[in-house]
Amino acid sequence: MTTPTLGRLITAMITPFAPDGSVNLDEARRLAAYLVDTQKMDALVINGTTGEAPTTYHGEKSALLKAVVAEVGDRAKVIAGVGTNDTNHTIGLAKEAEDAGADGLLVVTPYYSRPPQDAIAAHFTAVADATSTPIIIYDIPHRAGTEVAESTLISLTAHPRIIGVKDAKGNVASSARVMAATGLDYYAGDDAMLLPLMAVGAVGVVGTSTHFSGAGTRVVIDRWLAGDHDEALRVYRELLPVYTGVFATQGVMLVKAGLAARGFAPGGVRLPLLPASAEQAQTFVAVLDAAGL
């Protein structure tokens, strides 16, 4: 298999906040370096769901992206989350991300409006037409309110800049059909779906628990690609409680709790989220401990 344009192991990075609630750029740089150098990331997604993009402001998004590009852009890809439910706004964010040095763009299905499939295709096409950076479509029906249909995904492969899908649809058979019909780079958008999706042709994962499980997940990916499926399955099963445990509540809440327990300063979360409860945090840290992370 050829190496995907944006790599195989990707973390959707949290956005650290300072005690006063502002974006902590120093801690963002520290965390980005740790994820790339220690957790073996090929790429980071900045300003995604786990980065609390719905509650960070325009200037904050830009400053965060620039800081991470400056810190790790020489040794990892940086992918900017730019998706909104407004096509013109998304195009504006995409152009700014390009100017800031982003290597790729993550564009979610327009949410709330629930556009029909021809309008969804028109949205993604308009963004791709307006930019020169590779685009990963983020297909997550339970958040967006509608799926990107198989026929829509297949038709969008005609655009040279639409190169991949972050797949949180939860339908392996559907994803397998699209992979069989296209050359799209498919990424598991749910950590636990990594190995099931790789079995039908996916290239890797855009993970959340990979803030902690990245190095082990690298083993899963590499062993699977090398044909050592038994070892890949063994390590996957060891990490499965972490892959699922991070979503016991909103993923960013538990990632921040776990990072705080591991000596980082991720800060709190912004409303409408709340910090993980003491019980939730203790349970997740116990899962990390049990996995040797």
Q: Tell me the catalytic residues.
A: 138, 166
**DSSP assignment string, the chain:** -PPPTT-SEEEE----B-TTSSB-HHHHHHHHHHHHHTS--SEEEESSTTTTGGGS-HHHHHHHHHHHHHHHTTTSEEEEE---S-HHHHHHHHHHHHHTT-SEEEEEPPPSS---HHHHHHHHHHHHHH--S-EEEEE-HHHHSS---HHHHHHHTTSTTEEEEEE-S--HHHHHHHHHH---EEEESSGGGHHHHHTTT--EEEESTHHHHHHHHHHHHHHHHTT-HHHHHHHHHHHHHHHHHTTSS-HHHHHHHHHHHTT-------TTS-PPPHHHHHHHHHHHHHTT-
